[in-house]
Structure 1
Amino acid sequence: MKTPALLLASSILFGATAAWAAPDVVVSIKPIHSLVAAVMQGVGEPTLIVEGAASPHTFTMKPSNARAVEGADLVFWMGPGMEAFLEKPLQALASDATVVELDDVDGLTKLPFREGGAFDAHDHDDEGHEHEEHAEGHDHAHDETAEAREDHHHDHDAFDTHLWLDPTNAKAMASAIEKALVDADPDNAAIYASNLETLNKRIDALDKEIAETVAPVKDKPFVVFHDAYQYFEAHYGVRVAGSVTVSPEAIPGAERVQEIHEKVKELGAACVFAEPQFEPRLIQVVTEGTNARSGTLDPEGATLTDGPDLYFELMRSIATNLKTCLSGA
């Protein structure tokens, strides 16, 4: 058997075909599929379940998805808080696979859900991170209206699973991905390790780039369609003032829309952001009679081509679209 060093050298010399056969890997959603694909480069390509502009919040498994899960050696997903549609199929079909729940790996910063359409802007320290009590699970003021309780059914100790929007979390997940791949496929361990090192360097460079991009507009409040951005907010110190609807499955009622409309006016919010997979008409209602502009953010890569570069395109597009709208460019 080749040593890891010789394996890496031969794979470089003779190309990816020199690597040992790749395990069958299935990944739930685009952002983490991108991280897995980056670690697997030169060995194989993972299969993506939620393709195209589909949303994990409303996704329905197809027979081809079920076959992929059933034949997988490894399955990566965020967890039931993100892909509820996948929980039962994993139990039924993935008995021979190693299932890695990435919202439960070591080294993650987890933030609690924020309930209610409008929430106060949060304090940030000098480095752009929220105070420790936020990361430790500090409760936010809850909207106690019946409408809010019906719209949002998370347990009080649950956390937001859009974890990849903090690049530090992305690196923690990438480390867990590499470990799982090495455990399943030790013959290609050297390639996975080299790819992880490259990926971490790219994420560090991206992190610095995004911080510089949003720095000129980080103090301008904005409203989002769906509260998916608090990890980006906490890491980079931008000011999310509220959301049109907390859960993308829920249609906000007239009271919620009026609440957000008043919040936009009260804060002088510079922008209200829709998402590509959701109906943007509500944004027009919320911004009517205000000075707020409208834009689009894509936290799950719905409009992007899947692959190892998607994570970087996703993060960069959020930063660029924020800067463009908030600066009035």
Structure 2
Amino acid sequence: MSPFLSPVRSIRSLLPALALLLAAGGAQAADAPKVVVSVKPIHGLVASVMQGVGSPKLLVKGASSEHSYTLKPSDARALAQADLVFWVGESLETFLTRPLESLGGKATVIELIDAEGVEAMNLREGGAWEAHAHDDHKPGHAHDHDHKHDHKHDHGDHASLDGHIWLDPHNAEAIVKAAAAALSEIDPARAETYAANAAATVARIEAMDAEIAAAVAPYRDTPYIVFHDAYQYFEAHYGTSAVGSITLSPERQPSARRLSEIRQRLAETKARCVFAEPQFTPALVDVVIEGTSAQKGVLDPTGANVPEGPDSYFAIMRDIEKGLRGCLAPQS
């Protein structure tokens, strides 16, 4: 008999080992926690923490708005099968309030507006306001604002809070840490992976924060108006000068009186830009700037055109920075 095995016999001898490896890999993938996330910026942060383990499911995709979203059957199935659900809270994703209550404890639900380290802000009233104070802002340092929310609160007052918490990078860091802690709780075997991913993500946020602060610094005193009041966390953190919004809530059409007030605000402040959002009709912006020297730009707090995944949060923040610079810079 030949001292060498034939190629066929060699392959056959390896089949049991290969089968075991494939089974182990399949079991490992199957063991990845089933995670559902409400909106894209939060999804991006959670996906970054879960790199190498699995991918969370995003509910509000594309140009859909969290303010008017309706769950699809596939969304309801994902929630029913979830081990872990991340959302901001009832002040933002009202469409999720009842579905989450109906889960009956089957999934761990993390309401991020309550996460440790997140500083929530109260909703502003009216469409015109004073720009945030510019008291020596430095990236990486905490800021005190009179309208920051005290976390010693009852759950019933969440409706009065602004849910766009991720637009402050400090809050984004807190969200990352909360995600790592929640994932480690339900999946302790991968706790080290989650912790390492979280540390890398926080470092990336800190670097991005410093770069955005430097990029927008020349335009901090340049007034502008936004489509809806979604950006005050960004404004407070970076000291930019938003002076009003066309509408407080995008699902409500502004009245003729409101449009008149914003046009007056535009004239008084000499705001250089009025920003639309891709999810909503730009016609209202055209009405506001008609007959003025103001420019029209686009900002998007949730990244309608940004691909979902672990880079999405960073792309959303960079796009806001670029949108501001592109419109606020003096026109040649």
| TM-score range for the pair, normalised by the shorter chain length | 0.7 to 0.9
Q: 1:95 aligns with which of 102, 105, 124?
A: 105
Query: Which residue in 2 is equivalent to 1:159?
Result: 161
Equivalent residue runs for 1:125-164 within 5 Å = 125-127=135-137, 131-135=144-148, 158-164=160-166
Query: Which residue in 2 is equivalent to 1:31?
Result: 41
* 1:316 matched to 2:313: no
Matching residue's letter, 2:203: K
Matching residue's letter, 2:301: P
Distance 1:187 1:317, change over 3 A: same
CA distance in 2, matches of 1:258, 1:304: 33
Q: Is the 8 A contact 2:168 2:233 kept in 1?
A: yes
Query: Which residue in 1 is equivalent to 2:115?
Result: 105
CA distance in 2, matches of 1:167, 1:45: 22
CA distance in 2, matches of 1:229, 1:16: 43
Distance 1:63 1:166, change over 3 A: same
The count of aligned residue pairs is 300
Q: How many Å apart are 1:157 and its aligned residue?
A: 7.8
CA distance in 1, matches of 2:288, 2:143: 27
SS in 1 for 2:137: coil
Q: Sequence identity, in percent? A: 53
For the aligned residue pairs, the C-alpha RMSD in angstroms reads 2.1
Distance 1:156 1:80, change over 3 A: closer
Q: Is the 8 A contact 1:24 1:71 kept in 2?
A: yes
Q: Output one character per residue of 1:40-60: Cα deviation in whole Å (capped at 9) or x when no partner.
A: 000000011111111110000
Q: How many Å apart are 1:123 and its aligned residue?
A: 2.1
SS in 2 for 1:134: coil
Q: How many Å apart are 1:156 and its aligned residue?
A: 9.6
Q: 2:61 aligns with which of 29, 51, 58?
A: 51
Equivalent residue runs for 1:194-233 within 5 Å = 194-233=196-235
Q: 1:244 aligns with which of 224, 243, 246?
A: 246
Q: Output one character per residue of 1:93-141: Cα deviation in whole Å (capped at 9) or x when no partner.
A: 353110111110111122111111111223231126865423257xxxx
Matching residue's letter, 1:184: I
Which TM-score applies when normalising by structure 2? 0.86
Which TM-score applies when normalising by structure 1? 0.87
Distance 1:112 1:311, change over 3 A: same
CA distance in 2, matches of 1:171, 1:234: 16
CA distance in 2, matches of 1:191, 1:297: 34
CA distance in 1, matches of 2:208, 2:131: 25
Matching residue's letter, 1:310: S
Q: How many Å apart are 1:303 and its aligned residue?
A: 1.2
CA distance in 1, matches of 2:29, 2:196: 13
Q: How many Å apart are 1:212 and its aligned residue?
A: 0.9
Q: 1:273 aligns with which of 272, 275, 282?
A: 275
Q: 2:72 aligns with which of 62, 72, 86?
A: 62
- In structure 1, runs of 5+ residues without a counterpart are 1-14, 138-153
SS in 1 for 2:60: coil
SS in 2 for 1:277: coil
CA distance in 2, matches of 1:205, 1:16: 37
Q: Is the 8 A contact 1:118 1:241 kept in 2?
A: yes
CA distance in 1, matches of 2:104, 2:282: 37
CA distance in 2, matches of 1:67, 1:55: 20
SS in 2 for 1:272: strand
Higher Cα Rg: structure 1 or 2?
A: 2
Q: How many Å apart are 1:155 and its aligned residue?
A: 6.2
CA distance in 1, matches of 2:236, 2:27: 42
Q: Which runs of 4+ in 1 moved over 6 A?
A: 15-20, 154-157
Q: 1:258 aligns with which of 257, 260, 263?
A: 260
Equivalent residue runs for 1:174-185 within 5 Å = 174-185=176-187
SS in 1 for 2:225: strand
Query: Which residue in 2 is equivalent to 1:10?
Result: none
Q: Output one character per residue of 1:220-239: Cα deviation in whole Å (capped at 9) or x when no partner.
A: 00000000000000000000
Matching residue's letter, 1:120: E
Matching residue's letter, 1:91: E
